[in-house]
Amino acid sequence: MGAHYCAICRQTTFNGKGHIFGKTHQSRLRVVLLKFTEKVKEARRTLKKPQVEKFDCTQHKQTFWCYCCGCEIEKNVTDGNMTVLYGGLLEHMATPEHRKNTHKFWWDNKADPKFRDKVIVTEEETERFKVEVAKALESFVEKEDEYIKQHAEHIRAQEKHRQEVLQSLLEVCFPTMLWQYPSLWH
C-alpha cells in the first residue's frame, strides 16, 4: 500500500484500507455526507417547483463541490437573463457519470448505503423537472413582460407629472423669479 490522499480527511495516509475503516475517517465522512445530503435535499425540493429568478451575477454564480466526482459544478443554470436555481446541481446529479462515481465513492468509503440514493437524481425526476422548468420559465417571462409594461406606464406617468410640474413652474414661479432676480435676464 502506497500513499493515499484522503479527500474527506484532507490528508495523505499510508495504511490504505485501514484508514477508511478508522474512526477519524468514518466520523469525518458522516459530517461531510450530512452537509452534502442536506444541500442536495434543498435542491430536490425544487424538482417539483423549479425556482426561476432574474439573473444576478452576485448571487447565481455559485459552485457546488461534488464529493462523489471530486469536482466543482455550477449550482444554478442561467442564460445570463434568467436563472433556474439548483438547475446545474440537479442536472449533474442526474448524469450517468455521477451515478457511477457515487456508487464507487460509497463503496470506497464504506459509507452508509441508506443515504446513497439521496444524492442521485433519477431519469424520471429529471424528465419531470424539465417539464416543470419549461412552465416556470414561461410564467417568469409573462410576469417579466407584465412588469416591464407596468414599469413603462409608471415612467410615462412620472414623465407626465414632471412635465406638469415644469409647466406650472414656468407659468407661476419663473416670471416671479425673473422679476425678483432681474440678473437672470442676462
HSE-up of 10 (CA within 13 Å, CB side)? 2
Which CB sits closer to Zn ion, 25 or 60? Answer: 25
Q: Which of 9, 82, 94, 137 binds Zn ion (CB under 5 A)?
A: 9
Q: CB of 29: closest distance to Zn ion in angstroms?
A: 7
Mark the segment that binds Zn ion (CB under 5 A) among 93-101, 126-134, 137-145, 169-177.
93-101
Among 8, 43, 85, 133, binds Zn ion (CB under 5 A): 8
Candidates 6, 32, 82, 137; binder of Zn ion (CB under 5 A) is: 6
**Segment lying near Zn ion (by CB under 5 A), choices 2-10, 30-38, 150-158, 168-176:** 2-10
Strand partners, 12: 5
60 phi and psi angles, rounded to 5 deg: -100, 5
Interaction of residue 94 with Zn ion, rule CB under 5 A: no
Tell which one of 44, 60, 75, 98 touches Zn ion (CB under 5 A): 98
- Could you give the C-alpha distances from 25 to 3, 8, 17, 111, in angstroms and in order? 16, 7, 11, 10
Exposed/middle/buried for residue 125 (C-beta within 10 Å: 0-12, 13-18, 19+): middle
Task: Tell the burial category of 48 from Cβ atoms under 10 Å away from its Cβ (0-12, 13-18, 19+).
Answer: exposed
Q: Is 119 in the site for Zn ion (CB under 5 A)?
A: no
Site string for Zn ion, 15-34 (x = CB under 5 A): ----------x---------
Distance CA 61, CA 118 (A): 24
C-alpha dist (Å) from residue 147 to 53, 56, 135, 143, 162: 14, 17, 18, 6, 22
| Nearest approach, Cβ of residue 4 and Zn ion (Å) | 9
* Residue 155 φ/ψ, nearest 5 degrees: -65, -40
Which residue number, 68 or 133, has a Cβ lying nearer to Zn ion? Answer: 68
Query: What is the nearest approach in angstroms of Zn ion to the Cβ of residue 126?
Result: 14
| 90 sits near Zn ion (criterion: CB under 5 A) | no
Binding-site size, Zn ion (CB under 5 A)? 8
Binding residues for Zn ion (CB under 5 A):
6, 8-9, 25, 66, 68-69, 98
